[in-house]
């Protein structure tokens, strides 16, 4: 991840490879091994709200559901923010509404792999954990605008309200990982960062006549496909987190090096008083 964030990667093109199927999330075949999924997600920081012991702030819907064994289930919903600023703004809003309930809470950075693993471990339990990703509105607007610009000629891989992932299907970057040379198609959480990469490629290759188009998919679709597809294109994908998120994590680790691991086990008698879950922007 450091190689990507420092922009020490080499830019290149990947022929005519189309990544739409890899990030659409509708292929029901064999999944990637769990460790490969976690490896792709570890370098991406996201943000949630937790107390000093690592207990997540969750919301519990009033309605119960039944699982496949006809057992009553109760889902706790945890909001996971792509932006630290959005998470902090939400926490500040909660403080004005119910300061006592969130007085020990703070915004905590965690890796996307931790969130994914926690959700997987709890999905079959009577009180399962549901992750609600909260996208950055500016990037949602950019994704919607990008699809409108396509005029129906580009794949409609993005569902409004999901977390956008921006990519250029034929643009690659090469970098070192574990002493190996990796060639990958980067997926960006911010359109502006991908645009800078495209501009860098054009400056490095002024005589290239290749048209580089920016397209958009979703994090939710990608996560679904990582679990259900063995599409070889998934091995050519790397997630590039926002620079601002990486910088925040570095500062957080320096000031709070012993922060606890996150966990979703708040006492049941406190759940009825929890603030309402953050609403996804759909």
For the domain that residue 56 is a member of, what is the CATH number? 3.40.1350.100
Q: Is residue 133 part of a domain?
A: yes
* Residue 24 confidence (pLDDT): 44
* Residue 72 confidence (pLDDT): 57
Task: Check: CB of residue 157 under 8 Å from CB of residue 221.
Answer: yes
Q: Is residue 39 part of a domain?
A: yes
Q: Is residue 227 part of a domain?
A: yes
* Residue 18 confidence (pLDDT): 37
Residue 13, helix vs strand vs coil: strand
d(CA 83, CA 29): 32
Q: Is residue 262 part of a domain?
A: no
- Closest among 244, 243, 224, 242 to 234, alpha carbons compared: 224
Give residue 143's domain range.
34-61+73-254
* Residue 58 confidence (pLDDT): 85
Q: Is residue 261 part of a domain?
A: no
Task: Give me the long-range contacts of 196-202 (CB less than 8 A, separation at least 24).
Answer: 197/11, 197/168, 197/171, 197/173, 198/168, 198/171, 200/7, 200/11, 201/11, 201/171
Q: How many beta carbons lie within 10 A of that of residue 163, not counting itself?
A: 25
Q: Is residue 272 part of a domain?
A: no
Q: Note down pLDDT in tens along the chain; length 282 residues.
A: 332 222 233 333 333 333 444 444 444 445 678 888 999 999 999 999 988 888 888 887 766 555 555 555 677 888 999 999 999 999 999 899 888 888 888 999 999 999 999 888 887 777 778 889 999 999 999 999 988 886 555 556 678 789 999 999 888 888 777 788 878 889 999 999 999 999 998 898 888 888 888 999 999 999 988 888 777 778 888 999 999 999 998 888 888 766 656 555 443 333 333 333 334 444
Q: Is residue 231 part of a domain?
A: yes
Residue 106: CB partners within 8 Å, gap ≥ 6?
Answer: 49, 50, 51, 52, 91
d(CA 248, CA 256): 12
Q: How many beta carbons lie within 10 A of that of residue 231, not counting itself?
A: 20
Angle at 75 between CA 81 and CA 38, to 5 degrees: 50
Q: Is residue 25 part of a domain?
A: no
Count structural domains, the chain: 1
b/e map 65-103, b = 16+ CB within 10 Å = eeeeeeeeebbbbbbbbbbbebbbebbeebeeeeeeebe
3-state helix, strand, coil in the chain (%, to 5): 40, 25, 40
pTM of the model: 0.77
């Amino acid at each position: 991840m450091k190689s990507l964030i420092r922009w020490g990667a080499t830019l290149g093109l990947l022929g005519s490879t189309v990544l739409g199927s890899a990030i659409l999330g509708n292929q029901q075949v064999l999944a990637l091994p769990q460790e490969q999924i976690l490896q792709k997600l570890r370098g991406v920081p996201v943000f949630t709200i937790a107390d000093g012991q690592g207990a997540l702030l969750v919301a519990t819907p009033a309605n119960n559901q039944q699982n496949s064994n006809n057992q009553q289930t109760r889902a706790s919903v945890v909001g996971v923010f792509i932006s630290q600023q959005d998470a902090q703004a939400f926490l500040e809003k909660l403080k004005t509404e119910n300061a006592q309930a969130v007085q020990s809470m703070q915004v905590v950075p965690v890796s996307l792999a931790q969130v994914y693993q926690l959700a997987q471990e709890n999905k079959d339990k009577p009180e399962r954990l549901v992750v609600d990703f909260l996208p950055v509105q500016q990037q949602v607007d950019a994704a919607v605008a990008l699809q409108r610009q396509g005029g129906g000629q580009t794949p409609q891989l993005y569902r409004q309200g999901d977390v956008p992932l921006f990519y250029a299907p034929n643009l690659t970057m090469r970098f070192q990982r574990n002493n190996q040379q990796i060639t990958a198609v980067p997926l960006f959480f911010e359109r502006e960062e991908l645009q800078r990469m495209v501009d860098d490629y054009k400056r490095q290759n002024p005589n290239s006549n290749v048209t580089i188009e920016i397209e958009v998919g979703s994090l939710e679709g990608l996560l679904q496909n990582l679990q259900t597809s063995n599409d070889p294109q998934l091995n050519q994908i790397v997630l590039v987190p926002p620079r601002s998120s990486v910088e925040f994590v570095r500062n957080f680790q320096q000031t709070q090096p012993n922060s606890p691991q996150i966990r979703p086990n708040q006492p049941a008698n406190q759940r009825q008083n929890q603030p309402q879950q953050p609403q996804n922007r759909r």
